[in-house]
C-alpha cells in the first residue's frame, strides 16, 4: 500500500533521525536537519524501541570477530572474487581538529585491508591513509584479469586501486579529483560500477557528491576519464547506483527526498522522478537476478522495493527501526537484503514472493551503523567457522570504531529456524 508521510509525521521522523553537526560527525549532515542537532547519541528513541520489540529475536547471527578500527568506521566491503573472498576492506572517516579553534578541520580517512581465516581470525594486511572515505565498492568482475576497488573521498576524489594478487596489497592505479567552484567543498558520497550484470573491460562508474551533482566516469585501459557531470539534486546527492540490466540507466537519491531515474541515451533530464520517500534517499541497490527490481532506503526509516516500470507505488515496504544508510542484496539467492540502519542496528529483510519482512536482527553496534556487507564465501568454507549458519556478514559502526564479523543462519526458504538445515 502506498503511503506518503504527512508533515507532522515527517517532523517526528526528523526528530528521530537527529544527528550531530558536521563539526561533531565525520559524515556530512543533511542540511534540512541542522536545526534538529542532538550532540548526545542515544541508543534508540521510544518509537524505535517499540518497533524493535516486534522484530525477531537476534538469535541466529553470531559474532565471530570484533575489531577496534581506531578511526570512525563507516564502510565495509567483501571482495567478490575467488580465491580472495576471505578478504575485505573497512573504511574510516575521521574529522581531525587542530589544537585551537582557529585551525581548519581536516577530514582524514583510512582503508584497512583484512584477511579472515578460521585459524587466525582477522589479520590486517594493509593500511592506506587517505582523505576521509564515504564509500567504496569492488568491481563485480575482473577488468583485464585485475581485481579493482573504487573509493570515494571527502577530498572529492575517485580513487581506483588494484589488488596485487602476489602479495595481497592494494595499489593506487587511477585517481580523479572533482574541482568545485572556489569556496565550495565537494565530498564524493557514493559510487557504483556498471558491471553488476553486464561484463565490460571498459566499465562505467557513477558517483554522487555533496553539491547534489552526479559524475559519470569511464575506465579505459590506461586512464580514468570523466565523461559527464550534471546537477541532479538541490541538496546532497547521497547515493548513485546503476540499473545492472542496462548500464545506460542509473538512479540517484538526494537529501531533497527525491529518487531520480536517468537514461544516458536521453541526456541529463531524468526519465522518472519519484517523490514517495518522506525524507532523504540514502541508498539504492539494483537486483542483478530480478529484472526491473531495485531496493531503496531513506531517512524516513522505510525500506522499499520497486518495479522500475511503475514507480508510482512500491511493490513492498517495511518500516525499519532506524534510518537507513546502506542496503545490499545477498549475492546468492538475491532474495535477502542486508540493511544498515544507523542508530537502529543491522537487519536482514526477506523479499521472497514479494513478502517483505524483517527476519533477523543484529544489535551489537551501540553507535551509528553505517556499513554492512555479505561475504561471498560458499557454504562449504563457511562451515569451517564456529557457530551455525550458512552465511558470513560484516558490519561496522562509527563512534565506537567497531567492526564485527558474524556468522548467520539466513536461508530465505526456511526461516522456521527449528527446521532449517542451516541452523543445525
Residues 145, 333, 252, CA angle at the centre, nearest 5°?
A: 70
User: Confidence band (pLDDT; 50, 70, 90) for 356?
Assistant: confident
Whole-angstrom Cα distance, residue 212 to residue 28? Answer: 13
Give me the pLDDT at residue 33, please.
31
Whether 76 is in a domain gets the answer no
Decide if pLDDT at 238 tops 80.
Answer: yes
What are all long-range contacts of 306-313, with beta carbons under 8 Å and residues at least 24 apart?
306/274, 308/243, 308/261, 308/272, 311/259, 311/261, 311/272, 311/274, 311/276, 312/2, 312/276, 313/2, 313/276
Lowest mean pLDDT across 22-31, 81-90, 150-159, 265-274: 22-31
Residue 366 domain flag: no
pLDDT band, very low/low/confident/very high, at 58 (cuts 50, 70, 90): confident
Average pLDDT estimate for 377-398: 96
Contacts of 103 (CB under 8 A, 6+ apart): 97
Calculate the alpha carbon distances from 363 to 73, 238, 317, 347, 402 in Å.
16, 25, 22, 9, 12
Q: Which of 199, 221, 220, 207 is nearest to 140 (CA)?
A: 199
Look at 12 and 392; give whichever has higher pLDDT: 392
pLDDT score at 98: 74
pLDDT given at position 101: 61
Tell me: the pLDDT tens digits for 159-218?
999 999 999 999 999 999 998 887 789 999 999 999 999 999 999 999 999 999 999 999
pLDDT value at position 22?
Answer: 40
What's the domain range around 254? 7-42+92-331+343-357
The gap between the terminal CA atoms of the chain, to the nearest Å, is: 37
- Tell me whether residue 77 is in a domain: no
User: Does 69 reside within a domain?
Assistant: no
Q: Which of 53, 90, 57 minimizes the C-alpha distance to 71?
A: 90
Mean pLDDT of all residues in 130-159 = 98
DSSP code of 291?
T
| Grid coordinates of 360 | 533477523
Q: What is the pLDDT of residue 56?
A: 60
Give the integer Cα–Cα distance in Å for 235 and 299.
14
Residue 30 banded pLDDT, cuts 50, 70, 90: very low
Q: What confidence category does residue 299 fall into, taking pLDDT thresholds of 50, 70 and 90?
A: very high
Instruction: Give the mean model confidence (pLDDT) for residues 273-279.
Output: 97
| Residue 216 domain-assigned (yes or no) | yes
CB 161 within 8 A of CB 170: yes
Other Cβ atoms closer than 10 A to 363: 17
Q: What is the band of 418 on the pLDDT scale with cuts at 50, 70, 90? A: very low
Note whether residue 387 is domain-resident. no
- 403 within some domain: no
Edge to edge, the sheet with strand 391-397 lists: 61-68, 402-408, 391-397, 369-374
- Percent of the chain residues past pLDDT 70, beyond the cut: 82
Sheet-wide strand order for 249-254: 237-242, 249-254, 259-263, 272-274
Grid coordinates in use for 233? 539534486
Over residues 12-18, mean pLDDT: 31
- Give the residue-averaged pLDDT of 46-68: 70
> pLDDT > 90: what percent of the chain?
76
Please state, in angstroms and rounded to a whole number, the distance separating the CA atoms of residues 128 and 125: 10
pTM over 0.95: no
Q: How confident is the model at residue 103 (pLDDT cuts 50, 70, 90)?
A: low
CATH number of the CATH domain containing 275: 2.130.10.10
pLDDT given for residue 105 in this prediction: 84
Name the burial class of residue 337, with classes exposed (0-12), middle (13-18) and buried (19+) by CB atoms within 10 angstroms of its CB. Answer: buried
According to DSSP, the β-strands at 357-362 and 369-374 are unpaired
Residue 263, domain member (yes or no): yes
The pLDDT of 119-137, averaged and rounded, is 98
The contacts of residue 53 (CB under 8 Å, 6+ apart) are none
- Radius of gyration of the CA atoms of the chain, in A: 20
What's the pLDDT at 16? Answer: 30
Average pLDDT over residues 364-374: 97
Residue 15 CA neighbour count, 13 Å, CB half: 10
Cis check: omega of the bond before 83, within 30 degrees of 0:
yes
Distance CA 212, CA 239 (A): 10
Tally of structural domains, the chain:
1
Amino acid at each position: 500500500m502506498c503511503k506518503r508521510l504527512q508533515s507532522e509525521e515527517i517532523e517526528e521522523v526528523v526528530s528521530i533521525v537527529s544527528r550531530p553537526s558536521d563539526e561533531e560527525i565525520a559524515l556530512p549532515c543533511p542540511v534540512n536537519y541542522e536545526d534538529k542537532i542532538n550532540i548526545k547519541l542515544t541508543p534508540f528513541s521510544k518509537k524505535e524501541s517499540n518497533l524493535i520489540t516486534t522484530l525477531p529475536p537476534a538469535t541466529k547471527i553470531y559474532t565471530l570477530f570484533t575489531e577496534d578500527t581506531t578511526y570512525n568506521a563507516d564502510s565495509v566491503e567483501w571482495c567478490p572474487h575467488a580465491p580472495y573472498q576471505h578478504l575485505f576492506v573497512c573504511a574510516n572517516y575521521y574529522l581531525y581538529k587542530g589544537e585551537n579553534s582557529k585551525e581548519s578541520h581536516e577530514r582524514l580517512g583510512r582503508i584497512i585491508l583484512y584477511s579472515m581465516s578460521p585459524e587466525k581470525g582477522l589479520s590486517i594486511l594493509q593500511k592506506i591513509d587517505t582523505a576521509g572515505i564515504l564509500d567504496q565498492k569492488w568491481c563485480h568482475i575482473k577488468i583485464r584479469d585485475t581485481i579493482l576497488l573504487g573509493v570515494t573521498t571527502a577530498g572529492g576524489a575517485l580513487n581506483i586501486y588494484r589488488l596485487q594478487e602476489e602479495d595481497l596489497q592494494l595499489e593506487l592505479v587511477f585517481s580523479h579529483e572533482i574541482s568545485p567552484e572556489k569556496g565550495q567543498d565537494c565530498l564524493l558520497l557514493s559510487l557504483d560500477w556498471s558491471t553488476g550484470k553486464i561484463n565490460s573491460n571498459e566499465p562505467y562508474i557513477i558517483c554522487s557528491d555533496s553539491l547534489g551533482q552526479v559524475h559519470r566516469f569511464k575506465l579505459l585501459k590506461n586512464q580514468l576519464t570523466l565523461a559527464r557531470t550534471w546537477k541532479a539534486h538541490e541538496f546532497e546527492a547521497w547515493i548513485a547506483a546503476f540499473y545492472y540490466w542496462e548500464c545506460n540507466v542509473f538512479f540517484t537519491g538526494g537529501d531533497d527526498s527525491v529518487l531520480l531515474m536517468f537514461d544516458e541515451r536521453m541526456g541529463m533530464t531524468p526519465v522518472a522522478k519519484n517523490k514517495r520517500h518522506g525524507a532523504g534517499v540514502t541508498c539504492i541497490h539494483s537486483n542483478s537476478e530480478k529484472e526491473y527490481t531495485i531496493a531503496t532506503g531513506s531517512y524516513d526509516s522505510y525500506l522499499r522495493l520497486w518495479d522500475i516500470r511503475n514507480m508510482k507505488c512500491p511493490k513492498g515496504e517495511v518500516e525499519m527501526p532506524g534510518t537507513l544508510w546502506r542496503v545490499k542484496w545477498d549475492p546468492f539467492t538475491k532474495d535477502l537484503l542486508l540493511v544498515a540502519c544507523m542508530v537502529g542496528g543491522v537487519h536482514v529483510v526477506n523479499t521472497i514472493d514479494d513478502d517483505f519482512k524483517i527476519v533477523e536482527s543484529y544489535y551489537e553496534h551501540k553507535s551509528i551503523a553505517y556499513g554492512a556487507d555479505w561475504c561471498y564465501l560458499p557454504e562449504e568454507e563457511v562451515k569451517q567457522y564456529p557457530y551455525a549458519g550458512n552465511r558470513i556478514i560484516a558490519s561496522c559502526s562509527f563512534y565506537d570504531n567497531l567492526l564485527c564479523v558474524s556468522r548467520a543462519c539466513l536461508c530465505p526458504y526456511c526461516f522456521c529456524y527449528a527446521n532449517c538445515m542451516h541452523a543445525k
